[in-house]
Amino acid sequence: MVSRRDALFGGGMGLGAVALSAMTSPKGPHHKARAKNCIFLLMEGGPSHIDTFDPKPKLDALHMTKFQKERTKFEANMNTGERYYVKSPFTFKRAGKLGVEMNSLFENFAECADDICFYRGLRAESVNHPTALYHLNTGNQFGGDPAVGSWVTYGLGSENKNLPSFVVLPDTAFPQGGAANWSNGFLPAEFQGTPLRAAGAPVLDMAPPAGVTAERQRAVMDLMGALNKGHQQQHPEHAELAARIASYELAFRMQAEMPKVLEIEKESKATLEMYGIGGSNKDTDAVGRRCLLARRMVEAGVRFVQVIVMGWDSHDYIEKAHSARMRAIDKPIAALLKDLKQRGLLDDTLVVWSGEFGRSPDNGIRAGGQAWGRDHNATAMSTWLAGGGVKRGAIVGATDETGLQGVEAVHPIKDFHVTLLHLLGLDDAKLRYLHAGREKQLSQVGGEIIREILA
């Protein structure tokens, strides 16, 4: 196994770092899986459930009335002074056979409503971005533990020996907390997430230097492999040598396969337009590229792909800020779901959409009442799931009449993690790793499956 020191030494986003993270040996599920891949759409910053998928008409009547409640650890306390209920500045429409209410800006996504399970009962435990993101991504608010994608690849191995098993498609900047959100933690370094670059070449050093032929590169690899194996025989206690040899071999193989996956421009014009890529699609191009790349990744055998969209932290001017974010994701995410479905991939792919927490029904007065926003809220949030093994065209759970807290089918994030693992064929109670004298697991101390969302 590769030590953390070697992982950091060879880190970055070059081909060697990508290869290092893909060295998984096939394992197997604990039970029959409902999905074999996962695409996790992370909305960094905390999207407002009240203004997206869980509207609260009661707030129209309460708008500008004083908000009073007992302070708890779940409240951000971002604003000082008096606080007031804030109505949503958006309009909502019903979509799908169920007639689920969602923001009217979701014009394309509304067409996918019958394939979605909207879950309104999830409850976070932190109102600070870094700790909440760590909790959602790793199960530990303080970071340092393996990411969900790391646990999945540790449990299931790789579907494609020539590609990374866990790929992260970040925004132009990393989310709060940085790379620890996709860290391998205490698992061997081969299980860390591989972030691709948001701008420029997604992976550096993909092509060999000018003048170096494949035959010459193969000869160099064989010579280096022979030398490393000789050194390994002299030092069998150095387990990282085997991993290093394998990483070089994988990097060589990836030069043939990875470029094919990354060449999204070879998709049809109709597909690119569906995802909102190119042309006049300035608002959707960046997210569209990441969503299309996510589809190509799972199609090629990448086990776990995380797509990150930042900019949801709307303490001020929520109408302007959330409108921009919703327009940016509407077309690309709808295209991802439709594309997966028409290619017969949705049944085997679990798609998850979530932020790190929800937002509050109240705020302080800002800019004379013209800059309404919402604070962080861990006691109520909306997520949705689609594809492998979840209900379709369903609403599970509920929040109270103002959206302050969950009241039906309420579950903590650890149960959400246990459920995701279950759908992928893994049992959280059995998926363990001995570290620091005890066996550890994603849920930390165990959890239960949210059976209400299962098909």
DSSP assignments along 403-451, one per residue: SSSEEES-EEHHHHHHHHHHHTT--TTT--EEETTEEE-TTSS-----G
Mean pLDDT for the chain?
Answer: 88
H helices of 157-284, in order, are: 214-234, 240-262, 269-274
Which tens digits make up the pLDDT trace of 306-320? 999 999 999 989 999
Q: What is the mean pLDDT of residues 37-54?
A: 98
- Residue 187's SS3 state is coil
Which tens digits make up the pLDDT trace of 182-241? 999 999 888 999 999 887 777 766 666 777 777 777 777 778 778 877 887 887 766 566
DSSP 219: H
Q: What is the mean pLDDT of residues 230-253?
A: 68
How many CB atoms sit inside 10 A of residue 191's CB?
A: 27
Q: Where are the domains of the chain?
A: 4-453
pLDDT of residue 224: 77
Q: Which of 3.30.1330, 2.30.29, 1.10.10, 3.40.720 is the CATH number of 4-453? A: 3.40.720
Scan for tokens 């001995």, then name that residue: 434
The pLDDT > 90 percentage for the chain reads 70
Which tens digits make up the pLDDT trace of 120-178? 999 999 999 999 999 999 999 999 999 999 999 999 998 998 999 999 999 999 999 99
pTM of the predicted protein model: 0.88
pLDDT of residue 7: 47
pLDDT of residue 25: 46
